[in-house]
Every structure is written in C-alpha cells, then in structure tokens.
Amino acid sequence: MFGFKVITQYEQGIVFHWGRALPGVRQPGLTWVNPISERLRKVNMQIIVAAVPSQEAITRDNVTLKVDAVVYYRVVDALKAVINVQNYTYAVSQVAQTSLRSVIGQSDMDQLLSERDKVNAHLKDVIDVPTEEPWGIRVERVEVKDVSLPESMKRSMSRQAEAERERRARIISADGEYQASKKLAQAAAVMAADPAALQLRLLQTVVEVAAEKNSTLVMPVPVVLLRFFDRTAPGEPVRARPAVEDDIPESVAIAPLPEVPAVPEVAAVPEVPAVAEVPAVTVPASLAPGVSNTALNGAAPTGGTT
C-alpha cells in the first residue's frame, strides 16, 4: 500500500526503475518503492536443494549404469541471478544433469562405488564453474545418491566377492597348517631327545580316550617290542631283511640265505635222419617220343641230348 514493501530476512530486493535495475540491493525490512515507476523483485538467499534425475551413462571401463544425485546451492549475488539468467533454478538443474553424465564417463565403476567423496568433490567443481561467476550462484555441496547396476554385473560382482573370500580362507588355513607343522616338528625334536616324554604322551592319550566313556580301550604296543619278540621266538628262523643301523643291535647276527641248486642242463634233441633220394626213372624213347629222361627226373643235362 502506497509503495511500502516488506523484505523477509532470508531475501534481498532488486528495484527496477522504468525497467532498468538500480545499483545495489534492498536489505531485509520495510522499504518503499515508487508504485508508478519502480518494481521490486525479491530473491531468496536460502540454500536450495535440487534433485538430479537418474542419468544413464557409460563409465570409462564400459559399464552401463544409472546414477542420481542431489545438489545444494544458494544465490550469492542477487543482481546477477536475476539479470544474467532467466530461471536460475532450471538452469542449475540442467547443468547438474550434464555434469553428472560427464563425471560418470570419466570415472570407473569401482571408483563410483568406493570413492564417493572424490566423485562428489569433482562433480561440485564441474557444476560450480559455469554458475558462480556468471550467474551469482554457488554450489555448496553435491552428493551421489544411488548407483544402479545391471543384474548381470551384480551377479559377476557376487561371484568375484565369493571367490575373494574363498581365497582368503584358503590362505589362512594354509598358514595355520604351516605354523602347526613347525610346532609339531619342534615337539617331535624334544620327544626324540627324551624317550620318557614319548611314553608320557602315550599315557596322556590313553587318559583322554578313556575319559569319553568308551567301552573299548585300545592300547598301542611299540613296534620295537614286537620286533624283539619276533627275534626271540623259539623254532622260528630269523628272516633276513635290510640292515638298519638304528634298528638292529650289533650282537644280533643274521643267518645267511641258503643257496639255490643249479638247474640241470636239458639233453640235446637228436637230429632227424635225411630222406633218401628217389632213383632216377628211365623211359624208353619209343614209349614217349619227344620226352627226355632228364625232363622226367628234373635234373639238368650234363651235355648232349638223349
């Protein structure tokens, strides 16, 4: 009424005199403008939250995914925000969408999933360059909300994670077996130095087996004792076996093996007598004219014709 206007605390006013912006801005409070020649334009200085729609793009490692984000921005220069851009809210939304596509194309899939802070900082710098200086709008923060992967990629990542966990489990198991084998080797060396330690270990094993309420108790017998009874058994020949320095005492003698008799030679097979020659047959020339005796007997002529 009568040209009086109220500017809220979170707003600033731009006055246009006959369509031309006056220098400076009107601060919050009560102000007066000429109702005939001037017009007041209020600009909100609060932080504005704008949701960036989901953008489908291809990453640097050729993976297709969808990414959506949120942009937090505010007006720092009301005069530029009103004069230099028609609708700064719509303009910031379009810049955020195109910048999000550009950042996705420059990043790998693993980087988008694991390094969100770096991606957000880079996206903020990309959006802030064309908006702050010419439009008077400063981007305070950019957050990537969600990264949607295709189902095939999710299955591949699940198999990869499962294989990685299995690899770690095998490495831990192998490391445990290696350490246990070293400890067992050290324990075996200690027991070998003192035979009584091995006997005590045997008795401890028997106690542990008997504590499980078993009706049958198995007592292992040392192999050295069985060999001793085998050697001292009456009427049993001692079997020869390879000598072992730590196993056979010097006082024990090993009986030699009996010699095997030689096999007699087989008599020679008598020779077969030669077959007697068939006497030659003489045919008179009058009975078979033109046939010689040489042809009948199969012998070559020695000279002349018969």
CA 260 to chain centroid = 65
Q: What is the pLDDT along the chain (306 residues), one digit of tens a residue?
A: 578 888 888 899 999 988 888 888 889 888 888 888 888 989 999 999 999 988 888 888 888 888 999 999 999 999 899 999 989 999 999 999 999 999 988 888 888 888 888 989 999 999 988 888 889 999 999 999 888 888 888 888 889 889 999 999 999 999 999 999 999 888 888 877 877 777 777 778 777 777 766 666 666 666 556 666 667 766 555 455 554 444 555 554 555 555 656 655 655 555 655 555 555 555 455 544 554 544 444 444 444 443
CB atoms within 10 A of CB 229: 9
In terms of phi and psi (left: phi > 0; alpha: psi -120 to 50; beta: otherwise), the region of 83 is: alpha
Residue 242, SS3? coil
Superfamily in which the 48-149 domain is placed by CATH: Band 7 domain (3.30.479.30)
* Gap between the Cα atoms of 68 and 100, Å rounded: 8
Domain ranges, ordered by start, for the chain? 4-44, 48-149
pLDDT of amino acid 57: 87
- Burial 18-52, CB ≥16 within 10 A → b, else e: eeeeeeebbeeeeeebeeeebeebbbebeebeeeb
Long-range contacts of 153-161 (CB under 8 A, 24+ apart): 153/63, 153/65, 153/109
What is the token pair recorded at 104? Answer: 């996705």
pLDDT of amino acid 302: 45
Are the C-beta atoms of 281 and 297 separated by less than 8 Å? yes
